[in-house]
Structure 1
Amino acid sequence: MMSLLLVGTFLLLIMIGIPIAFSLALASLLYLFIAGIPLTIIPQTMFSGINSFVLLAIPAFILAGNLMNAGGITERIINFANAVVGHIRGGLALTNVASSLGFAGISGTALSDTASIGSVMIPAMKKQGYGSGFSAAVTSISSTVGPMLPPSLPMIIIGTLASVSIGDLFLAGAIPGLLLATGFLIVTYIISVKRGYPKGERQSLSVVGKSFLGAFWALIMVVIILWGILGGYFTPTEAAVVCVIYALIIGGFVYRELKLKDIPVLLTNTLSSTASILLLVGFANLFGWILVSEGVPILVADGILSLTDNPFFVILLMVILLMFVGMFMETIAALVILFPVLLPVATSVGMDPVHFGVVMVLTLMIGLSTPPVGVCLFVASSFAKVRIGQTVKELIPFFAVAVIVLLLVSYIPQLSLFLPSLFE
């Protein structure tokens, strides 16, 4: 009964527009008052949730992304992508998707991708005659590729929660992320051909090579992260600090676009983003502690397994549940609350924790472009100055591809586990 009060209050607060973090906090506070539990449990539980050395990687990766972006990274990645695919029908839309793939190794978050790429690409697409809804849809859905590739903040969160190798999680998301990007490129091309969207001129090899060299120092950041972690040279947290130093050198001395006067603003933005994430993690940990104390994980596991113990249908039920949650809840909050709840169910049907982590992140990423709380959907539609409904209509074929990839990744574990197995 008390658990229903907790969850019901949380959902009600979300429905009336209270931010996720404060909805978690207020629902937890109400529960503690009614249950008569001392409020000293709040700081204790929140601190235990964020008192992790691994979580220090979050502000460092955010800062590295901000430094690279301020240093001219976005423009160079877009130029390289445009040089490679811009001559194909719908070239600017394809460039949008390809840019998101390249930018994934810099930001680690889908929302950063949407904001950075969308602010440049959406006006350019509209100017060349692409529909506003289509421009927003391509930008929104392609940004979901980012968290599947390193450095991925959701993967860092999962590694903290499950005590599994973050390096393995980074590798495990690579093939699913590339499959997702490939599917989006195919859909974008088919729609562009059907609608007769424009194409650019084919670039010479020298132009392609020059654009590649321009983006090379930014793209190599992913190699540094994986080489350092998998080679045992440094931890994920240390890798993040190395990336900050690398970003300072590349932005300040190679690209020469990062100025000393930019640093205070970038630090302030990093602190703001980090504070909001860690506050969310802290409140979600409190909420999750209450759920565990109420025995909700056991109830959920028993509930799912009482319906069926067939692994195929158990996985399907978890995917459906996560897709529904992703429509309403922010990704990190959903991970902190639901990963410990669903992991025992997943392992009971033979899913590897790394595999389940990838499936969960991929499922929740799709929710970032779905109403009613799809933040990437809102940001892209805002840049395109188009109604949400129009963007959602254009997103339908992309959703179909995303679901197909999700099902493939869910039921073919080797798509996730093949690359990590090579480094065992």
Structure 2
Amino acid sequence: MSQLMILSMIIFFGLSVPVAVAIGLASMAGIGTTNMPWLVMAQQIFAALDKYPLVAVPFFILAGNLMESGGISERMVDFAKSVVGGVQGGLACTCVLTCMIFAAVAGSSVATTFAVGAILIPAMIRHGYPAPFAASLQATAAELGVIIPPSIPMILFAVSTETSVGELFIAGVIPGLIIGFALMLYVWNYAKRHGLGKQDGEGRLPMLASLRRAWLALLMPVIILGGIYGGIFTPTEASVVAVFYAVLVGVFVYRRLTFTSLRAAIHRSVVSTAVIMFVIANAGVFSFLLNRAGIPDALGQWLGTVFSDKFTFLLGINAALFVIGMFIETSASIVVLAPLLLPVAVAFGIEPVHFGIIMVVNLALGMITPPFGVNLFAACSVAKLPLERLIKPLVPFVGVVIVCLMAITYWPALSLGLRDLVYAK
């Protein structure tokens, strides 16, 4: 049964069948070869979706769309530019810093790409940056949307493996900051070497003026993350607070959120949520059938013979996840692979939260690598460029993230240090 399911899924992928549909059809093929009643599929679909933390997914997606429509992202850009825009290459650094701030609420890299990229990609092009470089930078910086908490992929990992959402969130802070500052260091050096961004400070507001203009926007991540780690509300409740705050500020303070834009934001959020939930539902059936067939135990025994220690296991898993992320959507990869790989990782002495961060960061690379990198397509859409023009400038950005990933992988304190401090008994 398991061989037929996996082979069927690969064939469907090769035929360009949508990921969620391919997983569902492969699950149906598995059920069809056994004596299980078809009612099992409906039961497992319900079980996969009947999890309280998943409530946060649609609300964080909606919060990101409301921030874009309500003018919050625009003010975040102005503030970031006032902080780092005064140096050569400051506009490129602004792109990274804004994505880091926006990610602290939106939890979605695609939402970050559209919200920030719509402002900064044209601005960088006007200041002389090559359009492919600007689009590649935006796609890569938006990756921070799934690493810096709150993060939808982290919620999916937590739900799939029964790991604490709060612990995953706090563990993602330092890795997200490391990747963000590494990207800023690279683009600053790139601008210096190529003579770009010498006029990036033009039109930049003084820091205090931009802070006065953007303080309500900047207060949003403080309220959300402070509320979670201060024990005021859970991550799921925080997602509702984020939506309420975005509506309040966008409608009554900035007066940018109209009924028409609100309706459009809700429509985009419903579509995005439906796609993710459809993937989760079908992946839940797929994972149930693989577990019933004993695949996790067999996989653990096989990996135990292939890898002799934790170091080689992590190296092999990173390589495998990097390739998988290039071809399979991040949500599907996490929901299907996390329950299979985590028991093996624990057997090698890897802490579940640390492994979750490794997996999320690694699969986030899939969002910026061809052929199915969703961030690339989003950035291409904003910059109006064909995908092939982004490949060359994208390679160094991927290299920077991989170097950071290796540090995160082999230095657990980067992920677990802050977690242990916050959750110290």
**TM-score grouping bracket, smaller chain normalisation:** over 0.9
Mapping for residues 149-298 of structure 1, pairs under 5 Å: 149-200=148-199, 202=201, 207-298=206-297
- Contact kept? 1:86, 1:200, Cα under 8 Å: no
Name the counterpart of 2:114. Answer: 115
> 2:16 is matched with which residue?
17
Secondary structure at the residue paired with 1:363?
helix
TM superposition shift of 1:36 = 4.1
Aligned-partner Cα distance in 2 for 1:384–1:67 = 22
User: How many angstroms does 1:323 deviate by?
Assistant: 0.9
Larger mean Cα displacement after TM superposition, 181-190 or 355-364: 181-190
- 2:337 aligned with 1:326: no
TM-score by length of 2: 0.95
Aligned to 1:375: 374
Checking the alignment, whether the CA contact within 8 Å between 1:59 and 1:274 is kept in structure 2 is yes
Amino acid at match of 1:357: G
Greater Cα shift, 370-379 or 225-234: 225-234
Shift of 1:31: 2.0
Matches within 5 A, 1:267-416: 267-416=266-415
Q: CA deviation at 1:286?
A: 0.9
The change in CA–CA distance for 1:55 and 1:76 in structure 2 (over 3 A counts) is: same
User: What is aligned with 1:70?
Assistant: 69
Deviation at 1:204, TM superposition (A): 10
**How far 1:81 sits from its partner (Å)?**
1.6
* Partner Cα distance (2:159, 2:32) in 1: 30
Aligned counterparts of 2:15 and 2:127: Cα–Cα separation in 1? 39
Q: Secondary structure at the match of 1:257?
A: coil
The CA distance in 2 between the partners of 1:411 and 1:220, in whole Å, is: 34
Pair 53,201 (structure 1): closer, same or farther in 2 beyond 3 Å: closer
Q: CA deviation at 1:169?
A: 1.0
1:181-222 Cα shifts (integer Å, max 9, x gaps): 111111111211121112336479972112123332222222
- Counterpart amino acid of residue 288 in structure 1: S
CA contact (8 A) 1:100 1:117 kept: yes
**Match for 2:55: what amino acid?**
L
Q: Which one-letter code corresponds to 1:110 in the other structure?
A: S
Whether contact under 8 Å (1:167, 1:229) holds in the other structure is: yes
Mean CA deviation greater in 253-262 or 6-15? 253-262
Q: 1:382 to 1:68 in 2, by over 3 A?
A: closer
Deviation at 1:254, TM superposition (A): 2.0
Identity of aligned residues (%): 38
Q: Structure 1 CA distance, aligned partners of 2:398 and 2:69?
A: 32
1:301-339 Cα distance to aligned partner (Å, 9 max, x none): 112110123111011111111111111111111111000
Distance 1:99 1:423 in 2: 26
Preserved CA contact (<8 Å) 1:141 1:369? yes
| One-letter code aligned to 1:31 | G
The match for 2:102 is 103
Contact 1:346-1:356 within 8 A present in 2 as well:
yes
CA separation of 1:18 and 1:355: change in aligned 2, threshold 3 A: same
* 1-structure distance, mates of 2:208, 2:138: 26
Counterpart code for 1:5: L
* Structure 1 pair 202–379 and aligned structure 2 pair: CA distance change class (3 A): closer
Name structure 1 gaps, 5 residues minimum.
none
User: Over residues 206-262 of structure 1, what are the superposed CA-to-partner deviations in whole Å (9 max), with x where a residue is unaligned?
Assistant: 721121233322222222222222222222221211222222211122222122343
8 Å CA contact 2:147, 2:360 repeated in 1: yes
Q: CA 1:206/1:332 → structure 2, altered by over 3 Å: closer, same or farther? A: closer
CA RMSD for the aligned pairs? Answer: 1.8
Letter in 1 for 2:238: A
TM-score w.r.t. the length of structure 1 is 0.95
Partner residue in 1 for 2:4: 5
Aligned partners of 1:62, 1:131: CA distance in 2, in Å? 31
Flag the 1:180–1:18 CA change in 2: closer, same or farther, 3 A.
same
Counterpart residue type for residue 88 of structure 2 = R
Aligned to 2:25: 26
The alignment covers a number of residue pairs equal to 423
Aligned partners of 2:51 and 2:159 also within 8 Å: yes
Distance 1:387 1:22, change over 3 A: same
- Measured after TM superposition, the shift of residue 126 of structure 1 is 2.0
Please say if residues 150 and 222 of structure 1, whose CA atoms lie closer than 8 Å, have aligned partners that are also in contact: no
Contact 1:87 1:199 in 2 (8 A): no
* Unmatched runs of 5 consecutive residues or more in structure 2: none
Q: Which moved more, 1:106-115 or 1:257-266?
A: 257-266
Please give the alpha-carbon distance, in whole angstroms, between the structure 1 residues aligned to 2:240 and 2:200: 41
Report the 3-state secondary structure (helix = DSSP H, G, I; strand = E; otherwise coil) of the residue aligned with 1:35: coil
**CA 1:33/1:79 → structure 2, altered by over 3 Å: closer, same or farther?**
same
Q: Are the aligned partners of 1:86 and 1:199 in contact in 2 as well (CA < 8 Å)?
A: no
Separation in structure 1 between the aligned mates of residue 228 and residue 157 of structure 2, nearest angstrom: 16
Quote the offset at 1:272 in angstroms.
1.8
Q: Distance in 2 between matches of 1:371 and 1:152?
A: 22
Cα distance in 1 between the residues matched to 2:242 and 2:381: 31
What is the match of residue 139 of structure 2? Answer: 140
